[in-house]
Amino acid sequence: MTAGLLRHGALALLFALTGASHAQRAAVQPQPLKSGLEFTGAEVRELQHDDFANPGMLWAARGETLWQEAAGREAKSCASCHGDAKTSMQGVATRYPRIDAGSARLINLEGRIRQCRELRQQAELFKYESAELLGLTAYVAQQSRGMPMKTVIDWQNRHNFEAGRAMYYRRMGQMNLSCAQCHQENWGKKLGPETISQGHSVAYPIYRLEWQAMGSLHRRFRSCQSGVRAELLPQGSPEFLDLELYLAWRAGNLPIETPGVRR
């Protein structure tokens, strides 16, 4: 009996210890998880929910057209390999960014589309923030609309995750502010006339009223960097990819909203 109790106690102590260190290592998700829509005005919410009025749909419509368009040396379209996007792309966006098997590096949806374009279609690369890349990314992600994010952190992407989390908590720029200070510690509070959101990535690419155009998550990162007067990193940079992975995890099981509308 004593041996059993001792073993039980030892196990309990071990569990508590690992639990404690796990809590120290574990990154924190905001509680409760809230979509950015909950921090915008009614107008933005209405725009996003109206599939016709949502300006992002203009880009997604372009993406749908591009999906069928033959390109490159082999005159192949996305559809040539992937068939109907409505079935083949369902759930795909919930698993990005992910480790690319070939390069063992983190890749996001934009990167994957560019990679397919270059290596498999052998066609001209789409530039970041181009109407084509935004359109295709929005169209692909839209096929997962309503599905919860399914980010898995494992041995393959753990170092990317840690780097992303470190960046999230690192102060930057003239204003010396970190992402966490606004979006983790002060979400729900006012910054000027705006209510700070939790800063999730599930609606991207988004139509941002401020840009009066569709834009990528990395462009939004750059906006934040600009806001705190930090140096802007380019779209597709490894730092942004790591941060994107952290954000994907941080969104928990929030559903994909692409194409989103934000102010």
Known catalytic residues are 224
Separation in Å, CA 138 to CA 152, 165, 175, 206, 233: 22, 26, 33, 8, 22
- H and E: helices and strands count for the chain: 11, 7
Q: Would you give the distance in Å from CA 81 to the centre of its chain?
A: 25
Q: Would you give the distance in Å from CA 67 to the centre of its chain?
A: 22
Applying CB under 8 A, which of residues 30, 36, 44, 149 lies at the interface with other proteins?
44
Applying CB under 8 A, which of residues 46, 74, 124, 185 lies at the interface with other proteins?
46
* 58 or 116: CB nearest other proteins: 58
Q: How far is the CB of 132 from other proteins (least distance, A)?
A: 12
If you compute the radius of gyration of the chain from its CA atoms, what whole number of angstroms results?
21
Q: Is 23 in the site for other proteins (CB under 8 A)?
A: no
Q: Is 155 in the site for other proteins (CB under 8 A)?
A: no
Applying CB under 8 A, which of residues 219, 242, 256, 259 lies at the interface with other proteins?
219
Q: Is 230 in the site for other proteins (CB under 8 A)?
A: no
* 132 or 242: CB nearest other proteins: 132
The DSSP bridge pattern shows strands 260-262 and 206-208 to be parallel
Helix (H, G, I), strand (E, B) or coil at 181: helix
Q: Is 191 in the site for other proteins (CB under 8 A)?
A: yes
Contact 48, 202 (CB under 8 A): no
Q: Is 192 in the site for other proteins (CB under 8 A)?
A: yes
Q: How far is the CB of 70 from other proteins (least distance, A)?
A: 19
Interaction mask 54-83, other proteins, x per CB under 8 A: -x-xxx-xx---------------------
Nearest Cα to Cα of residue 229 among 159, 152, 176, 169? 176
Nearest-angstrom CA–CA distance, 7 and 33? 38
φ, ψ for residue 148 (rounded to 5)? -70, 150
Applying CB under 8 A, which of residues 10, 53, 70, 152 lies at the interface with other proteins?
53
Q: How far is the CB of 223 from other proteins (least distance, A)?
A: 4
Q: Is 90 in the site for other proteins (CB under 8 A)?
A: no
N residues, the chain: 263
Residues that bind other proteins (CB under 8 A): 40-44, 46-47, 52-53, 55, 57-59, 61-62, 191-194, 207, 209-213, 215, 219, 222-224, 226-229, 232, 263
